[in-house]
């Protein structure tokens, strides 16, 4: 998704996730939440800004063997002043979860 803003984001195949984008003293950050009814979990999120891309992985190497349904405080790589630039693109890689 390019030029992300807060609101619902469709997940192809089933449901949507809620995206929250905000600006703070450190710069632009975002978070997401996938409702259990979507039967999906994020396994990777990539945040792109003017400084490049930062990849967040949710797998067994990071303590999330089944992915995650939510996270917050995500951002693009910091610039030379240590601030986070505006996020210009967010890519989500999701996988189906077990139906309970």
> Where are the domains positioned within the chain?
7-96
CB atoms within 10 A of CB 40: 23
Classify 63 in phi/psi space as left (phi over 0), alpha (psi -120 to 50) or beta.
left
The confidence score (pLDDT) of residue 1 equals 60
Measured distance CA(17)–CA(1) in Å, rounded? 13
pTM: 0.90
**What is the pLDDT tens value at each position of the chain, 100 positions in all?**
667 888 888 887 778 999 999 998 999 999 999 998 888 999 999 999 999 999 999 999 999 999 999 999 999 999 999 999 999 999 999 999 875 5
- Sole residue written with tokens 């984008």: 21
């Amino acid at each position: 998704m390019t030029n992300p803003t807060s609101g619902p984001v469709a997940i192809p195949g089933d449901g949507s996730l809620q995206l929250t984008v905000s600006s703070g003293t450190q710069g632009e950050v975002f978070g997401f939440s996938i409702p259990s009814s979507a039967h999906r979990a994020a396994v990777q999120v990539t945040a792109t800004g003017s400084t490049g891309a930062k990849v967040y992985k949710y797998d067994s190497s990071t303590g999330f063997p089944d992915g995650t349904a939510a996270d917050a405080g995500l951002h693009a790589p910091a610039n030379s002043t240590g601030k986070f630039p505006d996020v210009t693109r967010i890519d989500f890689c999701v996988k189906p979860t077990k139906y309970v």
